[in-house]
Chain A
């Protein structure tokens, strides 16, 4: 039983990261009906930019741990958000009136470009975060080992997701985003600047994805230029699992996928872990083609 709960917490920690990345997929899909395949690479940029800022500015040395990491998170969020906006401007906006397939191909191209640019800048070897930044305390709760950082990462993810949800549901700008998700033409007639809404979506999604990248770098220590592919795939799956276009769905899908993987590894087979996760996805899609929470896709965003 103890092992079960340990695996549950393991799964939630991984799932929190998936969920944070999945939000970017789901928001872009909600508004543009486009799968942004370059989103996983923006996640990787978050990890690399974080490492560069951390080592070149020595933030944690100057400002102390808590403030240093906070400043770092804000800087990475800002930079990756700008990157997301550039991506939208360069790769997606020129194709907005084209058939949907063109934009998907453009997304794949952008992904390959971003990945190779990173390799040319930083080299193909693994990059390693310094290992003395984060406190390494481990809590021991009823025999469960909970590294403090994992708890903080899950808490931070949930907080950010909740903030995003409230922003979309309770503010005027959020209402504009929801309106654009339902019908861009009608939203435009109501005086909503749809281009700005789309830009905003491409600022917020990458900001969250970049933060997830930074978290992975800080906590796991090791990053490389291709890691966005695996995480992107998983997060995309999580978005579909929860119901793509649906923000609470992305959260639920991410956490659930992490837990399914952990329990699948524990009780069935480690080597089949990913296969089990995808099998569950297929089964759910057969029963509920819109995903778990995907009933009224458009107005939930």
Chain B
């Protein structure tokens, strides 16, 4: 028995030794993604994008003269699986981690990576608290929820609306966005908030609310809730012959919105959203999308998966820039030296908290055919 155990330990030692010997001429980058579970399509997209980018980078000579190897772990879109996946990645000799998608899932892995000083860059996680905890090795390419509030206020200014009515639905997302926009609009000079209240989601008739809103005579209505209510509001607004423009948040970005409202009532609706992959406007992104289409015969599932690709490229830039695979040095480089890195989704820089600087949100408008059209503002 003892001998068997010894043999086992020896064998394990050989495997681990072999792995480290191999690690000398490669750089391993971890990818944590929801390959299974309800977000699987996002996770599969993240994996395809990162693998294609790694292939392209290796064709250009890898990083620090070494080949890049992507080590993928499935987090299942579930916080408990994610902490296990994170622990597995930390034992596999990766020097940095890309991922993951959901905020709660990312949160479950943050402390594990930070403890072993592994830089992590999340892609779909927008919850504010993730970067408020002071982890030095945590970054994200996704915008923060409060950025959307700033974008809403700015868009209202740019479109020239003066009197704004704000309507939310008391969910923490919608209320937060409404509060943020309200504070900004109140403090800015040209605009005035004439209405601020919440509706009850799940009802069918919002005419009482619309009638009250109409009485305040706003130039625009900012609705921060979700698409089912947004669709009903627009449909009933049209029935009232009221032609005020509506602006919604990214929770209204859903094709069912147009079905519920009807094309005629939905036409002209503005909403904020990170760009759809096909609307990414850098030449870099266009080239990458063409390569992706060629290799996988489809388009990436969403912008959130594309942001994983940006995370990967930023990590490679960080390793090259720091001239080291040491986690502290990579993080320091990303915080201080990486400025306006040309990402697929636009220029990328990070602030002291690891949040992305600059705007990711775009303005979309529904056209007469019910398509979502990117606006140049």
A residues lining the B interface (CB < 8 Å): 3, 6-7, 10-11, 13-14, 125-126, 128, 131, 136, 138, 140, 145, 147, 216, 220-222, 224, 226-227, 230, 261-262, 265-266, 269-271, 273-274
Contact = CB atoms under 8 A, between A and B. Distances in A.
Nearest to B212: A266
Given A126-B228, A270-B212, 13 more contacts: A7-B212, A10-B208, A126-B256, A128-B256, A131-B235, A136-B239, A138-B239, A147-B240, A220-B205, A262-B208, A270-B198, A271-B198, A273-B200
Contacts, number: 83
A145 B208 contact: no
A265 B208 contact: yes
A145 B239 contact: yes
Nearest to A136: B239
B9 interface: no
B337 interface: no
A227 B198 contact: no
B231 interface: yes
B3 interface: no
A265 to B, nearest CB: 4
Given A3-B211, A6-B211, A10-B211, A271 B197 contact: yes
A265 B195 CA distance: 13
B203 interface: yes
Would you call the interface of chain B mostly helix, strand, loop, or mixed? helix
Interface string B133-167: 00000000000000000000000000000000000
A271 B253 CA distance: 24
A221 B235 contact: yes
Given A265-B208, A270-B197, A270-B212, A221 B260 contact: yes
Contact of B211 (A125, A216, A261, A266): A266
A271 B205 contact: no
21 contacts: A3-B215, A10-B207, A10-B211, A13-B205, A14-B205, A125-B256, A126-B228, A131-B235, A131-B263, A138-B241, A220-B232, A222-B231, A222-B232, A261-B208, A262-B207, A265-B208, A269-B197, A270-B197, A270-B198, A270-B209, A274-B200
A291 B209 CA distance: 28
A136 B228 CA distance: 20
Contacts of B283: none
B323 interface: no
A271 B203 CA distance: 13
A6 B228 CA distance: 24
Contacts of A274: 200
A145 B240 contact: yes
Q: Which of A128, A138, A266, A269 has the most CB of B within 10 A?
A: A128
A230 B200 CA distance: 11
Given A7-B211, A138-B240, A226 B202 contact: yes
A11 B208 contact: yes
Given A7-B211, A13-B207, A128 B259 contact: yes
A162 to B, nearest CB: 23
B7 interface: no
Given A10-B207, A11-B208, A222-B231, A128 B202 contact: no
A43 to B, nearest CB: 12
B225 to A, nearest CB: 12
A138 B215 CA distance: 19
Enumerate the 10 nearest inter-chain pairs by beta-carbon distance, A residue then B residue, closest first: A131-B262, A262-B208, A220-B204, A271-B198, A265-B208, A10-B207, A270-B197, A128-B259, A147-B239, A222-B260
A265 B212 CA distance: 8
Contacts of B256: 125-126, 128
